[in-house]
């Protein structure tokens, strides 16, 4: 419980996944989905959202959507430094998905 509280308030959470990821982007940009292996540190707000959703009985699909939103912001958009017009990240064909505190 202490580790989860720390992750949700200050430490964040690490996601390690190998999955097919695609995204919706403006016409003329490359948005072809492909298998990626990512290990990404997510900020505490996403840890909190994932924990809260899990405790509220969220479905696996709902948890995947939160994880995809987090990857969009942190990995694809680099916290607002690139790909600002990226609309959605699709997270499918998951081969491996692990979270670490």
pLDDT in tens, 1-15: 899 999 999 999 999
Number of H helices, E strands in the chain: 3, 3
Both tokens assigned to 6: 């720390």
d(CA 1, CA 70): 22
* pLDDT per residue as tens digits for the range 14-71: 999 999 987 776 665 555 788 999 999 999 999 999 999 999 999 999 999 999 999 9
Phi and psi at residue 26, to the nearest 5°: -60, 155
DSSP SS3 for 88: strand
* pLDDT per residue as tens digits for the range 76-96: 888 878 766 777 888 888 999
Q: What pLDDT, on a 0 to 100 scale, did the predictor assign at position 21?
A: 86
């Amino acid at each position: 419980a202490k580790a989860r509280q720390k992750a949700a308030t200050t430490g964040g959470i690490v996601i390690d996944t190998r999955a097919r990821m695609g995204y919706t982007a403006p016409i003329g940009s490359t948005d072809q989905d492909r298998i990626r292996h990512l290990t990404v540190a997510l900020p505490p707000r996403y840890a909190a959202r994932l924990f809260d959703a899990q405790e509220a009985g969220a479905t696996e699909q709902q948890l995947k959507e939160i994880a995809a939103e987090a990857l969009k912001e942190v990995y694809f958009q680099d916290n607002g430094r690139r790909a600002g017009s990226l609309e959605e990240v699709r997270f499918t064909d998951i081969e491996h998905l692990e979270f670490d505190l």
